[in-house]
Amino acid sequence: GEGGGEGLEEDPNFTLKLLVLLARSSLSDYHKAIVFANPWLMQYPLLTPQHCLKTAASLIASKLEGQFCWASCIEPRFLASLMGLGFLPMGDRLEAGPQPHILLPKMHRQRCILHWGDLHVQRNVRRRSGRFAVTCDAAFPLVSEECRRQHGEGWLSPPLQAALLALHQD
């Protein structure tokens, strides 16, 4: 803009900043209580089941400087919608507020893809691998519990684990 200052309308993140500002100003009393007790959440956009998640995911993937959002809803259907749009769900324990856990959906900008045809497994690894097997959908409850046991409740909070188990059973 003129005088060296950049106006919001010239800012490439204008749309996203406007949406974040509108979302913060229209927080429900419940979400305000969560943010008041945990002010670090103000740096992240709030996602709710009432949002147009497809539009939010597109804006977040292309324009948001960080990778995280937050949500108070940890219901299986909401979780499935987020994962279907590319979010990696992570749980977090809150220090205070009206609920003990929240969801921190993470939108990765870079992803790693393993192409099985391009994979080279060294001979010594192949020899030792005979005692292992790769399975799919064989022991989801056990695997999720072992992840939580080994790594603690950091990202796999009890409500997130319960929602994932409910999705697996459907």
Domains in the chain: boundaries: 2-169
Q: What predicted TM-score, i.e. pTM, was given to this entire model? A: 0.75
Q: pLDDT by residue (tens digit) across 33-55?
A: 999 899 899 888 899 998 889 98
Residue 104 has pLDDT above 90, yes or no: yes
Q: How many helices (H) and strands (E) does the chain have?
A: 7, 2
Residue 102 has pLDDT above 90, yes or no: yes
DSSP string, 32-60: HHHHHH-GGGGGS-B--TTS-HHHHHHHH
Binned at pLDDT 50, 70 and 90, residue 23 comes out as low
Distance CA 132, CA 126 (A): 10
Residue 15 has pLDDT above 70, yes or no: no
Q: What angle do CA 159, 86, 115 make, to 5 degrees?
A: 115
pLDDT at residue number 8: 42
Mean pLDDT of the chain: 83
Residue 16 has pLDDT above 80, yes or no: no
pLDDT at residue number 1: 35
